[in-house]
């Protein structure tokens, strides 16, 4: 799926720009899988291997991998992080940005 195709889904997105053979990127894989499963329908998580597909790295101007880019529902970049964050750090940043994926929708009377 291309980056542009995902824009049509209108979910906030977490882009992981890394490489399959990068050690910190490998450490991120289980975190990304957990986020994908736990927040399906609320958050789109995507991984792009910039060694295999350098255009992704060029598109976002990254200089270090892994880099995580937080995008809102319109595709606007809200924040980027370089290096290895924990799952808790990622969720805390989303909450700080106004996206609390753990809150339940309020009941409508």
Ordered by where they begin, the domains of the chain are: 10-96 (3.40.30.10)
The pLDDT tens digits for 8-27 are 568 999 999 999 999 999 99
Told to judge if 93 belongs to the known catalytic residues of this protein, a careful annotator would answer no
Question: Which of 15, 17, 19, 25 is labelled catalytic?
Answer: 25
Per residue, what are the HEC states of the chain?
A: CCHHHHHCCCCCEEEEEECCCCHHHHHHHHHHHHHHHHCCCCCEEEEEECCCCHHHHHHHCCCCCCEEEEECCCCCEEEEEECCCCHHHHHHHHHHCCCCCCCCCCCCC
Write out pLDDT tens, residues 70-97.
999 999 999 999 999 999 999 999 999 9
Q: State the catalytic residue, choosing from 22, 29, 38, 84.
A: 22
**Is 25 marked active-site?**
yes
Q: Supply the pTM of this predicted model.
A: 0.85
């Amino acid at each position: 799926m291309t980056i542009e195709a995902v824009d049509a889904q209108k979910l906030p997105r977490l882009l992981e720009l890394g490489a399959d053979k990068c050690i910190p990127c490998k450490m991120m894989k289980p975190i990304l899988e957990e986020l994908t499963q736990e927040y399906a329908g609320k958050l789109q998580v995507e991984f792009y291997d910039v060694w295999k597909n350098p255009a992704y790295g060029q598109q976002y101007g990254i200089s270090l991998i892994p880099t995580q880019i937080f995008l809102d529902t319109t595709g606007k970049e809200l924040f980027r992080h370089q290096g290895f964050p924990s799952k808790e750090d990622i969720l805390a940043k989303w909450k700080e940005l106004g996206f609390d994926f753990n809150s339940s929708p309020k009941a409508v009377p």
